[in-house]
Amino acid sequence: MIKRRKLGRGVAVVGAGMSRFGMFRDKDSKDLFAEAFREMMSAVDKGIDPGDIDALYLGNFTNDFFVQQGHWGPIVSDLIGLAPKPATRTEGACASSALAIREAVFAIASGFYDIVLAGGLEEMSKRSTEEVTQGLAMAAIPYEVRAGFTFPGVFGATATAYFAKYGASREHLMNVTIKSHNNARLNPNAQFNLSIRDIMDNRVERARKKGEPVPDWKDEKEFLRDPKANPVVAWPMHLYDCCPISDGASCVLLVAEELARSFSDNPLYVAGIGQGSGRGLHAKEDLSCFEATRYAAQEAYSMSGLKPDEVQIAEVHDCFSIAEILHIEDLGFFPPGEGYRAVEEGLTRLDGSKPINTSGGLKCKGHPVGATGTGQVVEIWKQLRGEAGERQVPIKDLRIGATHNLGGTGGTCTFTILERR
Amino acid sequence: METRSFSDNSYEQFLNEDKLMGSRCRQCSALSVPPRPICVKCYASDMEWVEMNGKGKLAAFTSIAVGPPFMVQEGYSRERPYVSGVVELEEGARVVARIEGVDGTRPESIRVGTPLRVEFLHRKDGDSIATFLAFRPE
């Protein structure tokens, strides 16, 4: 039983912004953070003087390895004119910037600061795939590394345990991939803003132009079943089950609740915030769930007094297709073993009863690991304020959204519930 | 009496000696493989070594086509994937290990629940020997 948490005073989000996510030869971490910061500034309805920001918390996983620089707090605080005010880096692998949000919330709730910027960045694409894999493996469980597991391998094994327990199959994972691509198609900030159908059409056209044999896929699933189009990475994880290598930055402006209306006409309030830690495959009790997510969810739900049914939309950490299915179960949106059916029935689509990853998720929006947590809040910010454009969900009275961020192979998980009042 | 510390280092040394060892809490009998210095059930630090009988069954697995450099050096590739898995031991604990004697190119043929027996893969690691825990269908 988790003790009911509460904040010393309420905290609100009054601005959120992100850079485009993608692989950029010509942009570094600072360029990307500047993009995110500008978008955040323009999202503050009544404006903010950056000189009024008290502190920065910045999530970054392993730019130390990727670009040989680890001390990003002061670099970013100088970039945005915040120095000499304090800047602190948070690290929780792929959940690093969700931890930045938590630190910002705690700092404001304690009464110490009033206005805090939480953000994240990661610059991965200037390294080879092998090197990125090596960098990310710094967040792996050592016993698993020794047994030959990779990140896709851990999620692949998780999938086989889930399949054996609940009778799902690889075909069900494809429904997640197809949905993510359909959503990302409507997101101009996404790394892959193409549907699977668009990708198939492009391939057909390219083959025609080159005079090569024209592929003849009957539908999206036949494309995903084609080992040439979608090779295996760590069975049953194939290329299209895995998120890409990305560069990007994002940030969120948080203020004390009583100040929210002086910055924003339509702020989002932090209703619940939770974090858990998880164990390796050898030690976790159930292989087909993430215990850290369940803990984080309980903490956030009990703080908010809300039930899973009341969360209307969510961004969840779909680093691999199977992960999205587990998360929507662990977060209580669907009972254990029924997540894959919910996806199959279309309940998690943009027009479904519980839209999940309307941004395209990590799979298609991209996963610059340190920027993902705050990036997820950017999507919820836009959706709850009715500013998501073509991908705006059609739910009436959209008020409550949530973000779920996962670090490593489930070692650090967070759940944050945001509410428009 | 075995006096090695309940550490990852000792666990690896035992693997070099073809032994799969865990720790058992003398206070509450909780078993941990690999060993733990502190019991996570009752928080006692009073441990003893126990040897596993080496039998178990497959609880989860993956066939890896894109492996880390040390597996590529062993000759594994997209054309020759290897299998890693989670094994539930007869004693109740779970371990992660390489799974030998199964066809990584036909992962659909591999079944969760398959009975397995332990195997120790000794590999040269510079001047010393590194041992990888593995299991193979009985």
Interface touch A149/B64, C-beta < 8 Å: yes
- Whether A280 sits inside 8 A of B96 (CB atoms) is yes
Rounded (to 5) percent helix, strand, coil in chain A: 45, 20, 40
Burial of B12 by CB count in 10 Å (0-12 exposed, 13-18 middle, 19+ buried)? middle
Catalytic positions of A: 94, 367
- Do B41 and B87 fall into the same domain? no
* Segments in A48-195 forming alpha helices (H): 63-66, 72-79, 96-109, 129-136, 142-146, 151-166, 170-184
Q: Are residues B13 and B63 in the same domain?
A: no
Classify residue B3: in a domain, yes or no: no
Strands A268-277 and A247-256: unpaired
Per-state percent for chain B, helix, strand, coil, to nearest 5: 10, 40, 45
What distance in Å separates the CA atoms of residue A29 and residue A249, rounded to the nearest whole number? Answer: 7
Instruction: Tell me what pLDDT residue A1 has.
Output: 64
B32 and B67 assigned to the same domain? no
Q: Considering only CA atoms, which of A37, A43, A39 is closest in space to residue A78? A: A37
Cβ neighbours of A144 in B, within 8 Å: 84, 96
Contact A282 B62 (CB under 8 A): no
- CB–CB of B112 and A161 under 8 A? yes
Confidence label for B125 from pLDDT (cuts 50, 70 and 90): confident
My answer on whether B38 and B71 are in the same domain is no
Low-confidence ranges of chain A (pLDDT < 50): none
Please name the member of B59, B62, B94 whose beta carbon is closest to the beta carbon of A156: B62
Q: Which of B20, B36, B86 to mutate to test the interface with A (most CBs of A within 10 A)?
A: B86
B36 and B87 in a single domain? The answer is: no
Q: Which residues pair with A57 in a beta bridge?
A: A88, A118
Structural domain count of chain B: 2
- Which residue is closest to B120 within chain A, CA to CA? A147
| B45, B69: one domain | no
The CATH number given to whatever domain includes residue B82 is 2.40.50
Q: Does one domain contain both B14 and B60?
A: no
Q: Given its phi and psi angles, is residue A34 left (phi above 0), alpha (psi -120 to 50 degrees) or beta? A: alpha
What are B69-90's pLDDT values in tens digits?
A: 999 999 999 999 999 999 999 9
Asked if B88 and B118 sit in the same domain, the reply is yes
On whether the CB atoms of residues A126 and A135 are closer than 8 A, the answer is no
Q: Is the pTM for the entire model greater than 0.90?
A: yes
Could you write out the DSSP letters of every residue in B76-111?
--SSS-EEEEEEEETTS-EEEEEE-SS-TT-GGG--
Least CB–CB distance from A147: residue in B65, B78, B133: B133
Q: List pLDDT tens digits, range A193-242.
A: 999 999 999 999 999 999 999 999 999 999 999 999 999 999 999 999 99
CB A145 within 8 A of CB A283: no
Domains of chain A plus CATH, in order, are 11-128+244-420 (3.40.47.10)
Alpha carbons A78 and A73: distance in angstroms, whole number: 9
Residues B128 and B85 in one domain: yes
Cα–Cα distance, A288 to A330 (Å, whole number): 10
| Partners of residue A233 in chain B, C-beta under 8 Å | 64-66
Residues B61 and B119 in one domain: yes
Average pLDDT over every residue of B95-104:
98
Task: Evaluate whether residue B39 is within a structural domain.
Answer: yes
Residues B60 and B96 in one domain: yes
Full domain range(s) for residue B27: 8-51
